[in-house]
Chain A
Amino acid sequence: MRTRSWIILIGALLLVSLAFCFLLLGRGASGTVANIYQNGVCVRSIDLSAVTESFTFTVSDGARENVIEVAPGRIRVLEADCPDQVCVHAGWLADSAAPIVCLPHRLVIRIETSAKAADGIDTVSQ
């Protein structure tokens, strides 16, 4: 293939990816419920709009821990004993469609419209 064809191919790939970036992440999250998933299972759901006072709690799977802080309207990973600290550096998640991900601990925090935990919305936070 000629060099020009490769440049066009890569340019097209870049444009499509950029378009999807804005499409998927440009708009905000649609709900106010923070669902916390570990190993694909939603372990806790918190309605951020109902939170009046900040609190922290720990999500643990036995060996690995993430300390999560919840404040009115937002949530973040305060501390984690993972090696890369990507989840801590992600900072506050409020109304973004971009989830907080802690790959080493298989933990994902997403803002969604409804509670996905088995026991529904967390009542401690109400």
Chain B
Amino acid sequence: MKLKRLTRAAVLAAMALGIFIVELQLPNLTPIPGVKLGLANIVTVFSMFLLGPANTLAILLTRILLGSLFSGQVMALAYSLAGGLLCYLLMLLLRKLLTMKQIWVCGVLGAVAHNLGQMAVAVVVTGTPAILVYLPVLMVSGIAAGLFTGLCAQFAVGRLEHTSLFK
């Protein structure tokens, strides 16, 4: 069922991209770069547990590359890639540790890892370590936003894992 797998991954990538672009239209709540909901994380967590690591990596990279092109924020590509890949690596590990009832944890820690990766690149790119004062704020916002997206993924997985789509 190669076609089914491909279609599933493509639909999820399109969903992630749509969510990402819509979220960009929301105004920033804080003057701190990097504080955001990260709603596309729902798709990453969901696919990590229902589609597996290979599909998830493809979905994630598609969303990041096309997302930065579609939004015109090509400058932000380095931040997104660093955050996305660090988040992905941590999720690979968490996938082995978490039960299907603990998927939300993956959302929280994934968001924190994402913000850490972004911050690391921001320090290197700006050459100004002083912006590290925002790291704790990014950790708190990552935990809060990750809890939300993680729970969304948890509920979505709960509803869909026994349907014929994901057998």
The interface residues of chain A, by DSSP majority, are classed as: mixed
Contact A13 B31, CB 8 Å, known A99-B130, A108-B126: no
Whole-angstrom CA separation of A30 from B108 in the bound complex: 35
Q: Taking CB as reference atom, which chain B residue is nearest A1?
A: B97
Size of interface on B: residues with Cβ below 8 Å to A: 35
Q: Is the CB of B75 within 8 A of A108?
A: no
Within 4-18 of A, Cβ neighbours of B (below 8 Å) are at 6, 10, 13-14, 17-18
Q: Is the CB of B128 within 8 A of A24?
A: no
- Our count of residue pairs bridging A and B at CB distance below 8 angstroms stands at 102
Q: Is the CB of B136 within 8 A of A37?
A: no
Q: Is the CB of A106 within 8 A of B31?
A: no
Further pairs besides A10-B143, A13-B143, A106-B126: 17, Cβ < 8 Å: A6-B98, A10-B105, A18-B136, A21-B137, A23-B136, A25-B137, A37-B127, A37-B130, A85-B28, A89-B28, A90-B31, A98-B32, A98-B133, A101-B32, A101-B122, A108-B128, A110-B130
B140 close to A (CB within 8 Å) = yes
